[in-house]
Structure 1
Amino acid sequence: MDHAITAKPKTSLLLIFLVVLTWLLSVPVPTPALANGLAGTPPMGWNSWNQVRCHDLTEDVVRRAADALADTGLRDAGYEYVVVDDCWQAATRAADGSLQPDPKRFPHGIADLADYVHSRGLLFGIYAVPGSRTCAMANDAYPASGIGSLGHERQDAETFDRWGVDYLKYDWCYADTVDGLDRKAAFEKMRDELAALPRPIVYAISEYGVSSPWTWARPVANLWRTTDDLFATWDSVLATIDRQAAVAVHSGSPGGWNDPDMLQVGNGTLTADESRAHFSVWAVLNAPLFAGTDPAKLSGTDLATLGNAEAITVDQDFAGSQGRRLAAGPGYQVWGKPLSDGGFAVVLLNTGSTTATVSAVIPGAWNVRDLWAHRDVGTAVSASLRPHAAALLKLTPR
């Protein structure tokens, strides 16, 4: 990358000039992706974990989430997968070895719940693990035994097919230390079982970036986690952003996406500025977008963040390169990626504790649009930003 950066800090002013030449024009050539024809763009939806975690998960929670996605317009904005995370399972398998849902919290069964989700114009996802125990069994004292897929991979895949599952989150959960499994081989085994099904099922794997899955997972899964769990704090968001800088070249269409974890918009201590910054970087990263809060209780501000059609368009637009970090220094980061219309998307991020102006000079002549303000802002790639705020800009050739 040819670039020049000059920083001129003042009391509350940080001015950064960035010139990007060959870097943004280079297109990486990742290894071939999983050939299941799915996840041509980063998947979007809702996942139960960040909202209710384990013991509060019920079929009513899932039904209400599906209703809210439809009623708030998030479904029409692209949030199509409703994913039931850990703790849906009964304490043991059935006599024939098949998985079964908790009878008190899911009294109507998973197939009935999937039918309901489908009736709302949405797709249904579920959680499983390659080892013998789930994460909640280890971390949430979930009272179960033998509900992992180890030794039941084909049976579980066929069960998911019969229930009408469209998306599988397959979570590692100590399967190396507890069961002695190898990550790549274990994830490949379920990949092969899913491939044998008549029903197409998006395959999402999660081993938290421990074995650098971006280097081997493209032929194995449609998306793979690049980090440990994301929490609803600015420090966690920023640490996760920092970890994405080294993995960008391994993500891409069709069907193979780096996953920096589910969105925390609307959760924890995140301010409106922090939530928009979080969403802005995820959009430029072509990250899967999974809401992890009660969509029926979103504030108007958080709903506008999750439903920002212009930002979502950036996330769903892959033109040969996931977003990369172009520059970083004390109090600032600049991220960017090419767009399919010949333009660029740029995130100007103030990571500091005071208001700052962050500016970038990109070769060429551009019309600049602020995708949070929803207005054209001239020709300068620049924004005055409050602490922990970001500008998401679209640059269109003039």
Structure 2
Amino acid sequence: MIAHIAMILAVVTAGGLFLMVTGRRQREQQRTRLDVNRELYQQRKLELVAERDDGLLTMEAFARANDELDKRFVTENSELEQVADRQMGNAVWVPAVVVMVAAVILYFTFGSWQLQRQADDALAALPDLGRKVMSDQSAQTTREELETFALGLRQRLAQTPDDNGMVWQIYARVMTQLGQAEQAVDAFEKALAINPSNQQAQLGYAQLLVNFGEEQYLAQAAQLLVQVLQQDPTQQEALSLLGLIAYQRGDWQQAQTAWQLLQDQIAPADERYAAIQQALDDVEQRLVAADASLTVTVSLAPELQDQVPAGGTLFVYITDPDGSRMPAAAVRQPVANFPITIELSDANAMLPEFVMSGLNRWQVMARISSDEQIEAAPGDLDAEPLVLEAGSATSVQLEISKIVND
């Protein structure tokens, strides 16, 4: 890299020196022609004076000849200067363009050569780097080594892109480590297109999708893991990830099932056993809490039938009558035909740490909002709140019967 930059600088410097020399030479030639013209002009002036003194020219003829000589001198000098300027411009701009083109050609020629050399070096280092990256020493691998390894893999894939499912899988994992998610996704999909039953590619792709965290990616990851477990029902990484996906989606039962199957394969002395047990205890608590539910039937007073706002939103929720106004459970849905039956549980919590199963008393409320906000606003329609001891009833009824005025 340094060598080809130095060469480009040398070309530019030489071009600059050439332009300086060319410009100086042009200026010297211009001065020479003007000097000759001036000498001829002065000599002719002296000749005219001599002819006048010798009586060969009258005063009137001398004056005319002298004026004509002055005009011719000015015109010829002006023409010489214009010609010199054009020559000077051509002499400067043409070499300048040549120098610039040469510099660009050298840059791309040597730059491409340098990139190709890096690619060749990466391909040559691929076996050694592969052993390091894929072994227990992977934790000691530097980012630069990973990038070189990835470059070598790209060269290998460029040679035989359709016959290297395993190489695509390894490249996808390296791109994941480097934080290049889009390239990793593309590589995993290529690996699975070549070999749809590639278990390691399925697991790696599922892990990447889980990291994205969005529902559409969690669903896709779950499908991949199901395919793995269909091949091997005891695959531990698949069971772990499937339990994590279920937990993130609030499916406590599936999370418990997956993690229990995983724990059954692990000895109690294994450090993973205690971590899995902690996760199972958490899921068990959530399953118990999920059993604490309340069915709420909401009706609308006949006199308010015409007061329901167009596009209104129904909120049914539970708050703590002795504390925060933050709902511990809430359901929101478009207004439909009444009566409407809603089931509230910890699954409807707005915050995971503030749930209805953690309250001593429940205040059950229903509201039709005109602005899609749960807070009361003028024009909203409310039910009379109902307060009861937590868990003392499994169902209640509310009637929306009043208009919020302020």
> Into which bin does the TM-score normalised by the smaller protein fall?
under 0.3
CA radius of gyration, larger in: 2
TM-score by length of structure 1 reads: 0.24
- Of structures 1 and 2, the one with the larger relative CO (CA 8 A, separation 6+) is 1
Q: Which has the higher strand share?
A: 1
